[in-house]
Amino acid sequence: MSLGSPAIHETIATTRPSTVRSGTFYAVRRVLSEGAFLLVGAAILIWTLLPIYHMVMLSLTPLSDSFAGRFWPENPTLENFRIVFAEDHFFLQDFWRQLGNSIFVALATMVMVLVVASLASFAIGRLKLRYGHVISNTALLTYLIPAAFVAIPFYVVMSDYGLLNSLWALIFAMSTFAIPYAIWVLRQYGDSVPFELDEAAKVDGATPLQIFYLVYLPLLRPALIAIGTYALLLAWNEYLYAFLLLSTEKQHTIPVAMGYFLVTDDAPWTLLMATAIIYSLPPAALYYAVRKYMVSGLTAGATKT
């Protein structure tokens, strides 16, 4: 369609004979600018896909070929994926268990974030809790602390709580960092929901609890989907906290297990990349499935500046 537009421009030009010359001039310029546009598009495509292509290519390369430095797999094979699924390698002994850990941590974080953040945002925004703005501001402040900067004391505190090497330590850590953002988004989004609905429900005799789950939660569904996904992905993707808090192989999540591939110099890179693809697919699929919510949720606050 875009390639068709210069042609359309030309037909318009020919119907007006007096401007034929300038019409051709514009058509040529149009083709040139369209060409430049396509070129930039191609550059963006290569920039984006090269590392991902490299990952896929390597995952299809036989283990014995990993040092060949090829641009495409000469003898493509799914053997690497079979080895991963069969836990048929030293580094992959607990693959299914670790995948289960990753799923559990992600889901538990999502639930915890949704529950804590929706309750708090309802109390602040709808019930007009007295020190609500203080709570909003503590959340915003927490949101602005880089997680990596509190990793050391967080580790010590988790050890005091007796939670080291427990998946709950990671769930608590990830919830701590996702809840402030969740409250912020819910507060922004909640302001756009008319307050009259609460009033009407109240007149009909609804208690705050009923208003919460009959009015507030259904109306905030898009925002809840966005922050639920955000929390899920944050926990699924986390490396640093998982690496620090979980010490035994049976408790590792997939990112930590992948990190341990590189403790040897001759790491099985093709297996690592196969694991990487299996690990990347669920979050990518989820992201694309709820993309619309994510974009509006993420930009809800930002664009109003």
Partner 1 sequence: MAVTALGLPSERVGGRRWSPEMVWGTIFVIPYVVVFLTLVIWPVAYGVWLGSGLASYRTLFSDPIYLKTVLNTAIFLGVGINLKLFLALLLSGYFASVRPWVRWLSVIFILPWAVPSIPTIFSFRWMLNSEWGMLNNLLWTLFGIEGPWWLVKPDYALGSVVFIHIWKYLPFWTLILLAGRMAIPTDLYEAARIDGASPLQQFWYVTWPQLKNLYITSLLLSTIWSLGDFNSVYLLTGGGPADKTHVLATLGIRYAFNLQQLGTGVATVMTALPILVPLVILLVRRLGGRVER
Q: What residues between 54 and 93 interact with partner 1 by CB under 8 A?
A: 54-55, 58, 66-69, 71
C-beta closer to partner 1: residue 148 or 203 = 148
C-beta closer to partner 1: residue 14 or 70 = 70
Binding of partner 1 by 4 (CB under 8 A)? no
Q: What are phi and psi of 185, to 5 degrees?
A: -65, -45
The C-alpha angle 229, 279, 55, rounded to 5 degrees, equals 120
User: Taking the complex as a whole, how short is the minimal distance between the CB of residue 11 and partner 1, in angstroms?
Assistant: 20
Per-residue contact string for residues 110-149; x = within reach of partner 1 by CB under 8 A: -----xxx-xx-xxx--xxxx--x-xxxxxxxx-xxxxxx
Binding of partner 1 by 12 (CB under 8 A)? no
Positions 244 through 283 that interact with partner 1 (CB under 8 A): 244, 255, 258-259, 262, 269, 272-273, 276-277, 279-280, 283
User: Taking the complex as a whole, how short is the minimal distance between the CB of residue 149 and partner 1, in angstroms?
Assistant: 5
Long-range own/partner contacts, residues 282-291 (CB < 8 A, 24 or more apart): 282/236, 283/232, 283/233, 283/236, 283/237, 286/229, 286/232, 286/233, 287/229, 287/233, 290/225, 290/226, 290/229
How deeply is 28 buried, as exposed, middle or buried, from its count of CB atoms within 10 A (0-12, 13-18, 19+)? exposed
Binding of partner 1 by 219 (CB under 8 A)? no
**CA gap 5, 31 in Å, rounded:** 9
Tell me how far the alpha carbon of residue 102 is from its chain's centroid: 14
Binding of partner 1 by 288 (CB under 8 A)? yes
User: Taking the complex as a whole, how short is the minimal distance between the CB of residue 135 and partner 1, in angstroms?
Assistant: 6
Q: Give the alpha-carbon dihedral of 145, 151, 152, 155, to 10 degrees.
A: 130
Judged by CB under 8 A, the stretch of 15-23, 90-98, 174-182, 218-226 that binds partner 1 is 174-182
**CA gap 5, 27 in Å, rounded:** 9
Binding of partner 1 by 237 (CB under 8 A)? yes
3-state secondary structure of 78: coil
Positions 179 through 198 that interact with partner 1 (CB under 8 A): 179, 183-184, 187-188, 191
